[in-house]
Amino acid sequence: MRYDLDQVPEPIAYKLLAATVIPRPIAWVVTRGAQGVNAAPYSFFNVMGSAPPTIALGLMAAPDRGFKDTALNILETGEFVVNLVPERLVQAMNLTSADAPRGVDELALAGLETLPSQHIAPPRIAESPVAFECRALSSVVTGPCQTVVIGRVLAVHIQDRYLKNPERAHIDTDALDLVARSFGSDYIRTHDRFDLPRPTWAGLQAAGKV
């Protein structure tokens, strides 16, 4: 079966992408705007490079309501914090995804405390094990209800208990207990992993595989 995405309704395109590109990490984004602090989770998100450290966010708007406050704040101020989501915070994260009226403080709604950022105005979620302070490099309007924001990571906050060796940035990734999005209301635990060393051309030659 082939789907030509310029010939199918948008909900079909969304299902095809969201149900196949999994797991997707969750960016729990905190921003600050004229109406205060806002937070919302976005799963069209990932790291795009490390020189400079770069992330990308896909911000989608509802056709009838437009962008949420969080997305509007990013486009207006260029500043945001991406917090990662451990399993113990999934209920709070889910609360911040509600279609609340404009100006509602989702952090207060979910009972979340914050800590100040070092380089930007938006705070970070205190209980999140990892937070990235970001400043937007550029944004690309990819459709009437869709924008991709490319941001530079200015600082990474990691709770001390997850650091095995701070000087070498050795992190106890499994202990972070992060979750990711699947499709619909399904989430995925990220600590179920397996090891697969990357092959080298010399190694393949030595093994007679090439």
The C-alpha angle with vertex 142 and arms to 137 and 147, in degrees rounded to 5, equals 50
Report the predicted TM-score, pTM, of the whole model to 2 decimal places.
Answer: 0.94
Residues 6+ apart with CB under 8 A from 65: 99
Structure confidence at residue 63 (pLDDT): 77
Residue type, 209: K
Q: Are the CB atoms for 30 and 37 separated by under 8 Å?
A: yes
Residues 6+ apart with CB under 8 A from 179: 26, 85, 86, 87, 90, 187, 188, 189, 190
Which 3 state secondary structure label does DSSP give 176? helix
Structure confidence at residue 53 (pLDDT): 98
Q: What band does 144 get if pLDDT is binned at 50, 70 and 90?
A: confident
Per-residue pLDDT, averaged over 119-148, amounts to: 95
d(CA 181, CA 108): 24
Per-residue pLDDT, averaged over 102-131, amounts to: 96
Question: Which domains occur in the chain, in start order?
Answer: 10-206 (2.30.110.10)
Mean predicted lDDT score pLDDT of the chain:
94
Structure confidence at residue 103 (pLDDT): 83
Percentage of the chain exceeding pLDDT 70:
100
Structure confidence at residue 100 (pLDDT): 87
Residues 6+ apart with CB under 8 A from 205: none
Q: What band does 23 get if pLDDT is binned at 50, 70 and 90?
A: very high
Structure confidence at residue 126 (pLDDT): 98
Structure confidence at residue 153 (pLDDT): 98
d(CA 185, CA 6): 26
Percentage of the chain exceeding pLDDT 90:
84
Structure confidence at residue 191 (pLDDT): 84
- Per residue in 34-74, pLDDT (tens digit) is 989 999 999 999 999 999 999 999 998 877 778 888 889 99
